[in-house]
Amino acid sequence: MSTHKPADAVTKVAAVLEAATRTGVPCAPVRSLLPEGDIEAAYAVQRLHVKRGVTAGRRLVGRKIGLTSPAVQRQLGVDQPDFGVLFADMAVPEGQPIAPGRLLQPKVEAEVALVLGTDLPHRDPTVADLLHATAFVLPALEIVDSRIADWDITIVDTVADNASCGLYVLGGTPVPMDRVDLRAVTMTLTKNGEMVSEGTGADCLGSPLTAALWLASTLAGLGDPLRAGDIVLTGALGPMAVAAQGDEFTAHIEGLGTVTTTFASTATEGAGA
């Protein structure tokens, strides 16, 4: 159990994670700086990160859902997903290489992204509410990243670290919700032309819609509901793959199309990324 007052510990952990981001040097696990197993304290760190980002002029554009795989939940000793925030400056357009050094320990996973057309303010949203609120669906790549050295994380570490979110890439062709069964979609992820991950919509908490309903309910209960225009990354459809300079990743999700990203091999190639 930490001897720090919770508020002091939250500020300390935020400073440690910000230093890792600024210097490009991963830090030791931060769980020892917070009360043992205190997920709420970890979310307090995340909220401080968001507050500072917004104050600095960053634009909040959505949320990501993590830990949607039962196997990963068992690994971290939890029984529910977690969430982090998406800022506009974390979006990478297709065709724009990701510059070397922009991330610390990147890995790539393929996901379904929902883009909302209306708010989801209720604590008990139904599937019908979610379907009505979703303007369109896109294939997406989430580039997860950890400020914690060697990905040595527990649930407390990853929540404090914005659910280990780094960047994200959205496909460019919107698909109406009534054109696709998200539970049944199949996904393949290739790295430099070789398949490195596969899965289905059902591998994401039973369905990407189930994951999104959990998020909508959780955020409404916190008084910070999902809003029209929000992007929701619903969680990985298969295992993540380690990324390095020069790698190209393409995800194909049946019914949604493809989305591709490249990690630049030189700083010049990734200029502006």
pLDDT digits (tens, 9 = 90+) for 48-86: 999 999 999 999 999 999 999 887 888 788 888 999 999
First to last CA, the chain: 41
State mean pLDDT over 248-257: 98
Between the alpha carbon of residue 137 and those of residues 92, 184, 185, 215, the distances in Å are 17, 14, 12, 16
Whether 41 has a pLDDT exceeding 50, the answer reads yes
* pLDDT tens digits, one per residue of 173-214: 999 999 999 999 999 999 999 999 999 999 999 999 999 999
In a domain? residue 84:
yes
Would you say residue 45 lies in a domain? no
In a domain, 19, yes or no: no
DSSP strand E in 178-247: where?
186-191, 194-200, 231-236, 241-242
Concatenating the DSSP letter of every residue in 89-117 gives GGB--TT-PBPTTS-SS-EEEEEEEEEES
Work out the average pLDDT over 32-53: 95
Task: Note every long-range contact of 28-31, with CB atoms under 8 Å and residues 24 or more positions apart, other chains counting.
Answer: 28/148, 28/149, 29/148, 29/149, 29/152, 29/153, 29/154, 29/157, 30/148, 30/156, 30/157, 30/160, 30/161, 31/154, 31/156, 31/157
pLDDT at 250: 98
Are the CB atoms for 250 and 259 separated by under 8 Å?
Answer: yes
User: For residues 138 and 115, is the Cβ–Cβ distance under 8 A?
Assistant: yes
> Which structural domain range is residue 140 located in?
60-262
Residue 11 falls inside a structural domain: no
Three-state DSSP class for 211?
helix
Q: What is the CATH number of the domain that holds 66?
A: 3.90.850.10
194-200 and 186-191 strand pairing: antiparallel
Q: CA 37 to CA 207: how far, in whole Å?
A: 28
270 band by pLDDT with thresholds 50, 70 and 90: low
Q: Give the pLDDT mean for 126-149.
A: 97
Answer yes or no: is 202 within a domain. yes
- pLDDT recorded at residue 271: 52
**Is 29 part of any domain?**
no
How many structural domains compose the chain? 1
Quote the pLDDT of residue 263: 98
Is 271 part of any domain? Answer: no
Q: How confident is the model at residue 150 (pLDDT cuts 50, 70, 90)?
A: very high
Q: Is position 10 within any domain?
A: no
